[in-house]
């Protein structure tokens, strides 16, 4: 009975999608769905101003990572891992930096120029910008 109630509540009040966040100097306020996917699949490696993109992610077991992959990238985490492995093994790219907690994610977004990541809520830190996904 409790499981049924929870399922109904989640379907009526779905969890919010992960918020995409970038270092404050990244020169944009929005990304298309395709641009976001290209960044996280390591196809786009530079921002418009030439700054290297630094992708930061949570572990595959993280609910935030799973939700971000499904809802924002339209991929399963294992598919994203396979893409990163191909880039890493072929020498065409490096796997994204992985952090264990949302506070670590926010710290890297605050301090690493060109960083992009996600969180379950927006940040009030002026050194981090929220990016709208169109």
Q: Please state the domain extents for the chain.
A: 16-133
Per-residue pLDDT of the chain (134 residues; tens, 9 = 90+): 544 443 433 443 444 568 999 999 999 999 999 999 999 999 999 999 999 999 999 999 999 999 999 999 999 999 999 999 999 999 998 999 999 999 999 999 999 999 999 998 877 888 999 999 99
**Separation between Cα atoms, residue 3 and residue 99, nearest integer Å:** 31
CATH for 16-133, among 3.30.365.10, 3.40.190.10, 3.30.230.30, 2.60.40.10?
3.40.190.10
What distances in angstroms separate CA 130 from CA 26, 27, 88, 93, 98, one per listed residue? 11, 12, 28, 26, 20
């Amino acid at each position: 009975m409790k499981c049924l109630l929870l399922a109904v509540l989640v379907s009526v009040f779905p969890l919010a999608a992960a918020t995409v966040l970038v270092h404050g100097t990244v020169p944009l306020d929005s990304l298309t769905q395709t641009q976001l996917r290209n960044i996280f699949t390591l196809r786009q490696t530079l921002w418009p101003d030439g700054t290297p993109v630094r992708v930061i992610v949570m572990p595959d077991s993280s609910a935030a990572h799973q939700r971000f992959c499904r809802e924002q990238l339209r991929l399963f985490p294992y598919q994203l891992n396979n893409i990163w492995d191909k880039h890493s093994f072929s020498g065409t790219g490096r796997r994204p930096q992985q952090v264990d907690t949302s506070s670590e994610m926010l710290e890297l977004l605050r301090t690493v120029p060109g960083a992009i990541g996600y969180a379950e809520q927006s940040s009030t830190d002026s050194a981090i910008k929220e990016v709208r996904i169109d």
